Structure 1
């Protein structure tokens, strides 16, 4: 017959605190690696607006000459703080850039308000190890 172990709330709390400390330590390690890379990277900030009326079939493409379809660039997309929840709740996501000067966004639910998105273009070295 299998033995049942009872765990007290105090033991569970200690396990949770240890897991939190472990997570914070791992996050700190990752930040120590990423921050110098971001500080030394060449980057371009781009702001685009997705007007609510421009969605067609839950797809919208915007133009900006800084968007380049080149594997040496990586793009990070984030919604402005004022519309972050609306962008998250409607599932707005960017496609990979395959054509210079444009980026296509898709959504799960068509947003009813204009969304402002920030795009960070990072130039990265390619390593073929």
Structure 2
């Protein structure tokens, strides 16, 4: 069995969140989705996210749900295959209602920029030159 990473993210409006991430090119698996959650493929077979309505998310934990627009617990970082892919995903995120919390950072061997989704979760997109990879 291949290992997978599945993020669980609370969202205020499941349909709006699905539309936002669909605009970035992410897909959803209806087999694992319903009225309270949507299973999103970020990198097929290895990285997915379960977008859950806040009330459903709250039923899974014994602490309050953090308001990601006011405080952050995590930054989700995704590697990209090129600078163009970073820029393209950022442009799609902004066009779909997200925002960029900082300008792109170009270190020559590494290029990154982040976006905040419509629920306030932070995503960082990074390209690293092949010669700089581990």
| Category of TM-score, reference length = shorter chain | under 0.3
Structure with more of its chain in strand, by fraction: 2
Q: TM-score, normalised by structure 2?
A: 0.21
Larger RCO of the pair (alpha carbons < 8 Å, separation 6+) = 1
Q: TM-score, normalised by structure 1?
A: 0.22
Pick the structure with greater CA Rg.
1
Structure with more of its chain in helix, by fraction: 1
